[in-house]
Amino acid sequence: MSTGGKPRVLLMHPILDPGRAVLAEVAEVIDYPNARPLDEPSIRQAAEGCFGIVTLLKDPIRETVLSTPGLKIVSNVAVGFDNIDVPTATAHKVMVTNTPGVLDETTADFAFALLMAAARRVVEADVFTRQGLYKGWEIDLMLGTDVHDATLGIIGMGRIGRGLAHRAKGFNMRMLYYDPTPLTPEVERQLGVTRVDLGRLVAESDFISVHVPLTKDTLHLLSTPQFGQMKRSAILINTSRGPVVDEAALVAALKSGRIAGAALDVYEREPAVHPGLIALANVVLAPHIASGTVRTRSEMSAMAARNMATAVRGGRPPNLLNPELKR
C-alpha cells in the first residue's frame, strides 16, 4: 500500500508544475509506464496498491479499475468526467474529483476563436496564402460570414456557455440558449440571452456552439434531424465532447451543403478524426486544445493535485463529484 509511510498515487500522465510537487509532498508518486496501453486491465494492474490515481480524460476508469482494493480516489485533470463511471466509483466508495472553474474563460476564448476562424475562413486563407495562390485583391476572394449582429445558439448554458455569451455580447450577437436548467431572469437579462427549445435554437441560429457534458442524454444530441432543421448557412462549433455530435451525420450534412461549416475541438472516437472531416475545406479542426494555455493547464494540474492531497490527508476534496461519500 505504501513505502516510507506515504501512500502511493498513480500518475497516469505527466502534469504541469506545480502539480507533481503538490502530490510528492503527501504521496509516493508512481508514473504510469509510457508505452503501456490505456485500457482498463493495464490501468488496474498499475493501480494495485495505490491510494489514488490522477487521470486525464483519455483514461477509461470503470468497474475493472474502480474495484481495485484500497483505491480511495480518482482525480481527473479535466472538468468533464465522462471517462469515469461515477456511480460505480460511489458503489466502491472511491471518491472522484474534477477541475471546474479554472478553465471556463480559456475554453470560451477558444470556442470563440473557432467560431471566428470558421466564419472568416482563417485556416483556408492561411493555406491559400502560403501556397502562393494570392495573385491580387479580388472582390469575391474567399468571402465569409459576418459574426457581428448574427444569431448565436448556445447549447448548454453552464460556466463555459456563459463565458461564450459574454464574448458574443461584445459582437452584438443575438443569443438563444437551450438548457434544461434555466438561468435566472436577471442573468438572462445581463447576458442578453433568450431560452428556447432545441428545435427553435437550431432553426434560427447562424452559429451553434455546444457546451454540454457528455451523458446518456447528450449522446448524439445533434444528428440528422437537427442538421435538417438548421439554416443552410449555419456553422457548428463543438468544444464539449465529440460524441455529443453524430459525426457521420455531420459529415453528410457538410458534404451535401445542408449546413455551411463546422469548427471542432473534439471528436467522436478521439484521437481518430472522421476521414470525411479531414477531406472538407469548410471545417476547422483542432486537437482538443480548448483549455490549452500555459496558465490554465498549470492551474488544472495544481487543482487536481490539491484534490488528491486533501484526500490523502483525510479531508474532503474541494471538487468532489460524489459528495455522498464524505458527509
Q: Which residues bind ligand NAD (CB under 6 A)?
A: 79-80, 100, 103, 107, 155-161, 178-181, 211-214, 217-218, 239-241, 265-266, 288, 290-291
Q: Which residues pair with 237 in a beta bridge?
A: 209, 263
Options 121, 167, 241, 297, the catalytic residue: 241
Closer by beta carbon to ligand NAD, 27 or else 114: 114
**Cα–Cα distance between 210 and 161 in angstroms, integer?**
8
**Cα–Cα distance between 265 and 237 in angstroms, integer?**
8
Closer by beta carbon to ligand NAD, 214 or else 253: 214
Closer by beta carbon to ligand NAD, 161 or else 317: 161
Does residue 288 have an active-site annotation? yes
Closer by beta carbon to ligand NAD, 211 or else 258: 211
Does residue 162 have an active-site annotation? no
CB of 175 to ligand NAD, least distance (A): 15
Residue nearest to ligand NAD (CB): 158
Options 40, 105, 188, 270, the catalytic residue: 270
CB of 218 to ligand NAD, least distance (A): 5
Burial of residue 145 (CB within 10 Å: 0-12, 13-18, 19+) is middle
Q: In what order do the strands lie in the sheet with 151-155?
A: 193-195, 174-178, 151-155, 207-210, 235-238, 261-264, 283-285
CB of 212 to ligand NAD, least distance (A): 4
CB of 165 to ligand NAD, least distance (A): 11
Amino acid at 264: L
Closer by beta carbon to ligand NAD, 84 or else 160: 160
Closer by beta carbon to ligand NAD, 6 or else 195: 195
CB of 184 to ligand NAD, least distance (A): 13
Does residue 48 have an active-site annotation? no
CB of 237 to ligand NAD, least distance (A): 11
| Active centre residues (catalytic) | 241, 270, 288
